Amino acid sequence: MKKETIIEISFDEKDDYISQFNNTKLSNKLSNYILEECRGKSLSNCITLNVKPNFKINANEKEEFIKMVHENYKTDLQEHTLILRHSNLKKLIIFFIGIVLIYMSYFRGISENEVISEVILIIGWVAIWEAAYTWFFETDKNRIKAKRLKQLAKCRINFI
């Protein structure tokens, strides 16, 4: 049986969860709060939001709220995926630039000037290291964030 991460949310009025700029969007404050409450929780847990409005809310408004929450995190996930794609492309380009620079440092005309050859060699190694570092260490953080956003895009929402 899957474990569950339960996040308690309480509103005093409708303006507490609606963006001040767009009535069909979730407020950034609430979105950040929910994401922050997930920190440190297992990625295998199902996420449930227990919402307690301290005012009358009809079935239509409840459905709108559920849609806002799910759409908010779907949009965040799409943006995160787009950023990752561009980032991976940049890392790949930097990696190949590093290889080319290391190869260039051994060319006859460049290798005769030891200072220029060494500078090009160092820049090449730094480029390769930068790409390798982000692939090995930054990728995990990005995967965790993507998985968390997927969980929130499908989370269960209960009104109590």
Model confidence at 5: pLDDT above 90: yes
- pLDDT > 80? residue 109: no
Average pLDDT (80-90) is 94
Q: Which residues of 95-107 are buried (b: 16+ CB within 10 A; e: fewer)?
A: beebeebbebbee
What is the average pLDDT across 105-113? 80
User: How many domains does the structure of the chain reveal?
Assistant: 1
User: For 7-31, what is each residue's pLDDT tens digit?
Assistant: 999 999 988 899 989 988 999 999 9
Q: What percent of the chain has pLDDT over 70?
A: 99
CA separation for the pair 28, 8 (Å, rounded):
17
Closest Cα to residue 133, out of 70, 102, 91, 105? 91
pLDDT at position 145 is 94
**By CB neighbour count within 10 A (0-12 exposed, 13-18 middle, 19+ buried), where does 89 fall?**
exposed
Residue with tokens 């460049």: 110
Query: Would the pLDDT of 2 be above 90?
Result: no
SS (H, E, C) 54-107: CCCCCHHHHHHHHHHHHHHHHHHHHHHHHHHHHHHHHHHHHHHHHHHHHHHCCC
Q: Provide the domain limits for residue 86.
A: 4-159
Asked whether residue 111 carries a pLDDT value surpassing 80, the answer given is no
For 145, phi then psi, to 5°, come to: -65, -40
